[in-house]
Amino acid sequence: MIYLDYAATSPTLKTALFAFQRTSRFFWGNPNSSHSFGQSAEKMLFSQREIVADCLHCEPEQVIFTTSATESINLTMHEAIHDGYIHISDVEHQSVVTVYQDVGAYGFPFSESKFCCHIHTNNETGRVYNLKQALSCADRSFSDCTAAMGKSELNFKKSGLDYICGGGHKFGAPVGVGVLIAKEPSRITSSYHFATPSVPLAAAFAQALHFRTQHLREFSELAEDLHDRLITGILNELPDAQLNGKLSRGSNGTQSPYIANLSFPGVENHALVLRLAADGVMVSSGAACSSGDPQPSRVLINSGYSEARAASAIRFSFDFTLSEPNEPSPAYGRNEASDIAKIDEAVKLVAKNVKELRNQ
């Protein structure tokens, strides 16, 4: 199998799995309990907040563990509605759009809004946005950093944002844990009743984020090699393929090396996804939560691409290795020759299937 859908989910890092297992064994008490065993779990939970705070440059008290980035988004948006008008950009993840279509607050101009939202990194194209420019007129602001957390430098203090969020399974923690960073956490914690915190999942999240943060630049460069090799290879094999984004190298930080998006004129993207899966190449036609939607990607259309181009678009997403990550090893489990061979094989299979679909 050639897995190129890391933006949908990623394998659990061994350091995260070990943290989960150890904490499950020794700190399984309820951190809300007042007895000593519960308080030992609470101390463990706070220590994981400290790790996350160190990685994201915020205060431990500003770290709120959730079940997912989606829950973090819901908490933020429902708190923000009290400010009145809210604006979200037209390239937000569907989880943001859904909440605000429900409450009728979608689409107010930035100039009329007290609370504004803009995604950090486009989860379909990999474009990295200038948040200071995009949110310059907001009184309060939020950024969905799900596609960036654990992969890009995030400095909450310097950002000027009021909220950011992320989901652990995008960078090596298990599914089921996310984080919300809040400048004023009491605005969230005083308004909502949270379930019993999962200390083991918090530990897994913190350890995965810590590991990734230690190697941000190194891993980005490794991902960049795979990202640009795949794009260059496809464009060589299929000169009429259209890149929805940029090569990462030379983009000055405006293109994530972890996501590439290409369109194949004359080919329906869902058909291509299924054919590639049958050949052992796992990709997507967009965000995983919208994979069953037959309509062209709203995000691509709102990014300026035509409906026809969006309807033939495929997202390829990467990690620093396409092999099983093994962080204790000198190369962190990366097998460069194997990774390059997988990219080159993926290029051949994409070209083969595109040509076959066009000849049907």
pLDDT in tens, 169-213: 999 999 999 999 999 999 999 888 888 999 999 999 999 999 999
CA distances from 192 to 28, 64, 85, 224, 280 (A): 24, 12, 21, 41, 44
pLDDT at 103: 61
pLDDT at 82: 77
Measure the CA–CA gap between 244 and 308, rounded to whole angstroms. 13
- The neighbour count for residue 133, using CB atoms within 10 Å, is 8
pLDDT at 179: 98
Residue 179's H or E segment, with its range, is strand 178-182
Q: What is the DSSP letter of 5?
A: B
Q: Which of 16, 39, 18 is nearest to 27 (CA)?
A: 39
Q: How far apart are the first and last CA of the chain?
A: 26
Q: Which two tokens stand for residue 245?
A: 């984004």
Q: Which two tokens stand for residue 53?
A: 């705070």
Is the pTM higher than 0.95? The answer reads no
Residue 247's H or E segment, with its range, is none
Low-confidence ranges of the chain (pLDDT < 50): 106-107
pLDDT at 293: 67
Measure the CA–CA gap between 339 and 23, rounded to whole angstroms. 33
Measure the CA–CA gap between 38 and 327, rounded to whole angstroms. 32
pLDDT at 120: 98
Instruction: Tell me the chain's radius of gyration from C-alpha atoms.
Output: 21
HSE-CB for 33 with a 13 A CA cutoff: 11
pLDDT at 195: 87
Instruction: Give the strands of the sheet with 63-66, arranged side by side.
Output: 63-66, 178-182, 163-167, 140-144, 115-117, 86-88
pLDDT at 288: 61
pLDDT at 328: 58
